[in-house]
Amino acid sequence: MRYKTQKIAYWFFAACMLLFTLQIIYGFIMGFARMGYDGLHEIIPFNTARAVHTNLLVVWMLSGFMGAAYYIIPEESERELWMPKLAVIQLVSLLLVGVTAVIGYHFNYWEGRKFLEIPRELDYLVVINVLTFLLVIFMTIWKGKRKTTTAMVLFFGLLAAALLYLPGMITFKNIVFDSFFRWWVVHLWVEGVWELIMGAMLSFLLIKLTGIDREVIEKWLYVIVGFTFLSGILGTGHHYYYTGAPGYWLMVGGVFSALEPLAFLGMAMYALSMAKKGGRKHPNRIALMWTLGCAVMSFVGAGFLGFAHTLPGVNIWTHGTLVTAMHGHLAFWGAYAMIILAMISYVLPEMTGRSLYKSWMAEWAFWTTNIGMIGMTGAFGVMGIAQVYMERKAGMDFLEVQESLEVHAVGLVLAACLMTAGVILFIRNFIAYGLPVDPTETGGSSGAAGSAAGAFASSKKS
């Protein structure tokens, strides 16, 4: 870490840890309900738990992206953040809006629009908040010494994410229109511009961790995000198959979303080959594990499992079943949760000056969370496929089918326990690092990590 104001990122990441924990708790409430234990039904019915679970996910990921941007942009632009006080205000207000929304969900204060449940009044506050964030980032880049590709891709990803939030705020009386534009936000975020943000974070981490020339990494970054948009924009069509839109979306959505795995495959191959070519070993191996793990798991979760049910002939049966939950869990984990955890693993030693690279907790956190997530995905997959055959193909009664799936929900909850154990280790390790300290004159934080990273940087120059 070279700039004092980069420290702000720490608090965004701390917020991630807090919100992630809450998200998991609400996940358990739903897991138990699926097992048949819905004792909290009167206080936290399923739709409340579900809205809280998905919205906390979005908020902690936005918080993670913002933290990453506050860390990356000063380093790329080679200057301190512009008006760092705004960044602090922005974090506090983001948390206030997020927490208000989540509390509101317990009192029927929401909109029944999947993933966009935040009530309209709070939407405006979100917009103001994100504009503030973008202003700080933009001014920092504008006044900075250099404008790197990584910084620009990150900025435009964030800007596009903000702009694409707006179609979700238009009110329609007709649910078919409402659904059409809801996917502009949800799909074009997660299978479009969020991948720009993810790609930029990946490229920043690879530059730092492998020592490979920036020009090479950034060239491939363009290729990857090029493939993302080539497949992802028209791939939105896979949400328009059966929601009232014309039949040509079956063709358009089918063809282009079948290409989506290529973008993720490209990303995985790119990250793995860069790491292999890199040769030099940055001491922070755990951050590299998360980075490469992210590239691989996003291909498996978002690419492969997405493809598994994206073709119209398959989707006519799987649409609206737990098969979607199977894909959704591993996709979000692999693509976005892991890139943020990779970023956190990289910045903690840089910020705090402590080198806990060899901590057993960090390594166990990586493996247990991933094995747990794969187990959960398997359980959702079994439940989803069984549901498709029993309910959709054989026409059995919905409740009867759900009751016969309860035994698999036990597997789901057990896998979730393993995953949670990993998250606890990760957070324990996060706390063990302590608070961030100011960078020293020579660059890099004081202490072992700073000097180790410094040595790495200087060895790269020679």
Partner 1 sequence: MLTKSAAKAFFLGGTALCAVAFLLLTLDTLAELPKRSHVEDMTDQVVRGHVIWNKNNCMGCHTLMGEGAYYAPELTKVVERRGEPWMDTFLQDPEAFYPGRRKMIKYDIFDNEAVGAEVAAGNRADVIAFFKWVGNIDTNGFPAKPDLVPVGVASNVDPRIMARAPVYFQTVCAGCHSVGGKGGNVGPSLDGVSARFDADYLRKWVSDPQAVKPGTTMPTLGLKGENLDEIVEYLGSL
For residue 127, give both structure tokens: 């917009």
Tokens linked to 74: 């000063």
DSSP bridge pairs for 439:
445
Nearer Cβ to partner 1 (232/375) = 232
Burial (CB count within 10 angstroms: exposed 0-12, middle 13-18, buried 19+), residue 197? buried
Report, in Å, the least distance between residue 298 CB and partner 1. 19
d(CA 168, CA 181): 6
Asked whether 115 and 54 are in contact (CB, 8 A), the reply is yes
**Which of 186, 365 has the CB closer to partner 1?**
186
CA atoms within 13 A on the CB side of 390: 18
Q: Closest separation between CB of residue 207 and partner 1, Å?
A: 14
Closest contact distance (angstroms) between CB of 96 and partner 1 is 22
Other CB atoms within 10 Å distance of the CB of residue 256: 19
* Least distance to partner 1, CB of residue 94, Å: 23
At closest approach, how far in Å is the CB of 284 from partner 1?
27
Give whichever of 227 and 299 is closer to partner 1, judged by the CB atom: 227
Instruction: Please tell me the distance from the alpha carbon of residue 377 to that of residue 330, in angstroms, as a whole number.
Output: 6
Least distance to partner 1 from the beta carbon of 276, Å? 19
Return the number of other C-beta atoms located less than 10 Å from residue 145's C-beta. Answer: 8
E strand residue ranges, 146-212:
none
Q: How far is CA 405 from the centre of its chain?
A: 29
**Nearest to partner 1 of 81, 390 (CB atom):** 390
- For 213, phi then psi, to 5°, come to -55, 135
How far is the C-alpha of 408 from the C-alpha of 376, rounded, in Å?
A: 10
Cβ 368 to partner 1 shortest distance, Å:
27
* Cα gap 334→301, rounded to integer Å: 6
Of the pair 85, 219, the CB lying nearest partner 1 is at 219
Nearer to partner 1, 36 or 434 (CB): 36
What would the two tokens of residue 177 be? Answer: 């229109």
The least distance separating partner 1 from the CB of residue 89, rounded to whole angstroms, comes to 31
Which residue, 124 or 398, has its beta carbon nearer to partner 1?
Answer: 398
Dist CA 100 CA 315 (whole Å): 36
How many Å apart are CA 2 and CA 20, to the nearest integer? 28
Q: Which is nearer to partner 1, 211 or 266 (CB)?
A: 266
